[in-house]
């Protein structure tokens, strides 16, 4: 359903205004977005959720991307047409942020979060139909890229996520269909895992947004 006030989001009867609407354009306020994310995060993940000051640089980049602020994105070398590859250490909050950020733009086409290990389990059961099924016009965020097991169906091995990324790359070229991913691996590790061909296409598919490698584990 299209809302006439996409800059105002209601949670449990309380309205959160993320910016000002003028001439069908929203001028977002980053502090108001952070306030809403803090509220929504607690609703999604429990009262222990909090926005960490050290993550605000990452959050700013993600927010300007999701609200499609092309001017601000250009200054940060972010291409609004590409997807997001969010990298960082285990437990730094990548998955939570990708689950959370989509809620600030309820008027935009959303994406489904798919654990990469689930795609392999599906492949092992259904075979190449799994890869075909992800070659559609839906938006996905593949979670925990690079730590999924290898696929095997009727005795044949397959690098399932590598094949899916190649399919998603073709979709991107043809229709600008976006794909997002989270990963604990760095660029070199991704190339070892998926090969140079996939890594090369990932550069064209994704904007790389990276947590500091010293980011603490927030799940401890």
Q: Taking the domains of the chain in order of start, what are their residue ranges?
A: 8-210
Among 203, 213, 202, 3, smallest CA distance to 87 is for: 213
| 128-162 pLDDT per residue, tens | 999 999 988 899 999 999 999 999 998 889 999 99
| 43-69 pLDDT per residue, tens | 999 999 999 999 999 999 999 999 999
Q: Which residues contact 107 (CB under 8 A, 6 or more apart)?
A: 2, 3, 6
Contact predicate 161/142, CB 8 Å: yes
Domain 8-210 coded CATH 3.40.50.300: yes
Among 204, 213, 143, smallest CA distance to 168 is for: 204
DSSP string over 143-203:
EEET-SPPEEETTEEE-HHHHHHHHHHHHHHHH---EEEEES--HHHHHHHHHHHHHHHHH
1 pLDDT band, cuts 50/70/90, is very low
Mean pLDDT of the 113-121 span: 96
- Residue 3 has a pLDDT of 64
- Residue 216 has a pLDDT of 80
For the whole prediction, is pTM greater than 0.75? yes
| 63-79 pLDDT per residue, tens | 999 999 999 999 999 99
């Amino acid at each position: 359903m299209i809302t006439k006030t996409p800059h105002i989001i209601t949670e449990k009867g309380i309205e959160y205004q993320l910016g000002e609407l003028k001439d069908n354009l929203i001028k977002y306020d980053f502090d108001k977005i952070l306030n809403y994310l803090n509220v929504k995060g607690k609703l999604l993940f429990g009262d222990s959720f909090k926005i960490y000051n050290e993550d605000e640089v990452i959050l700013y980049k993600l927010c300007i991307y999701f609200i499609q602020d092309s001017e601000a994105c250009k200054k940060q070398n972010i291409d609004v047409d590409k997807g997001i590859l969010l990298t960082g250490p285990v437990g730094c909050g990548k998955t939570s942020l990708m689950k959370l950020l989509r809620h600030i733009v309820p008027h935009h086409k959303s994406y489904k979060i798919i654990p990469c290990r689930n795609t392999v389990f599906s492949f092992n059961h259904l075979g190449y139909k799994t890869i075909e099924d992800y070659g559609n016009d839906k938006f996905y965020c593949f979670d925990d890229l690079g730590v999924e097991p290898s696929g095997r169906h009727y005795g044949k091995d397959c690098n399932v996520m590598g094949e899916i990324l190649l399919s998603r790359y073709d979709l991107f070229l043809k229709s600008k269909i976006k794909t997002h991913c989270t990963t604990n691996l760095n660029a070199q590790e991704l190339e070892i895992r998926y090969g140079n061909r996939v890594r090369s296409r990932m550069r064209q598919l994704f904007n790389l947004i990276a947590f500091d490698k010293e980011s603490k584990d927030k799940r401890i």
